């Protein structure tokens, strides 16, 4: 493997891990929402929509980009969970 390819692979894997951690960080917000301390639902909704489009892009491009796909899938689910739990009637 060329040195440049190895570097890109390391950066890609690191970015994927950081993206997953970013979306997992919605868990405290979701817990607060469930306890009645509601947050604004707009940002997690936009994050979920953004992640949905990136996941679709990564999956359906000619050479699937699994790093982008897996980096964004948690954002779809945690973003939607934060959005739904932030809605209060």
pLDDT in tens, 7-40: 999 999 999 999 999 999 999 999 999 999 999 9
Domain of residue 42, residue span = 3-86
Residue 25 DSSP code: T
Q: What is the pLDDT of residues 44-67, one digit of tens each?
A: 999 999 999 999 999 999 999 999
CB atoms within 10 A of CB 1: 7
Contact 78, 23 (CB under 8 A): yes
Number of domains in the chain: 1
pTM of the model: 0.88
**Residue 89, pLDDT score:** 60
Closest listed residue to residue 37, CA positions, set 75, 82, 78:
82
């Amino acid at each position: 493997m060329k040195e440049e390819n190895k570097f890109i692979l390391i950066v890609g894997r690191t970015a994927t891990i950081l993206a997953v951690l970013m979306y997992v960080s919605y868990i405290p917000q979701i817990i607060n929402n469930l306890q009645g301390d509601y947050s604004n639902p707009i940002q997690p909704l936009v994050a979920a929509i953004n992640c949905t489009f990136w996941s679709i892009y990564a999956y359906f491009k000619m050479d699937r980009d699994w790093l982008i796909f897996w980096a964004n899938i948690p954002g779809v689910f945690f973003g939607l969970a934060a959005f739904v739990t932030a809605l209060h009637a």
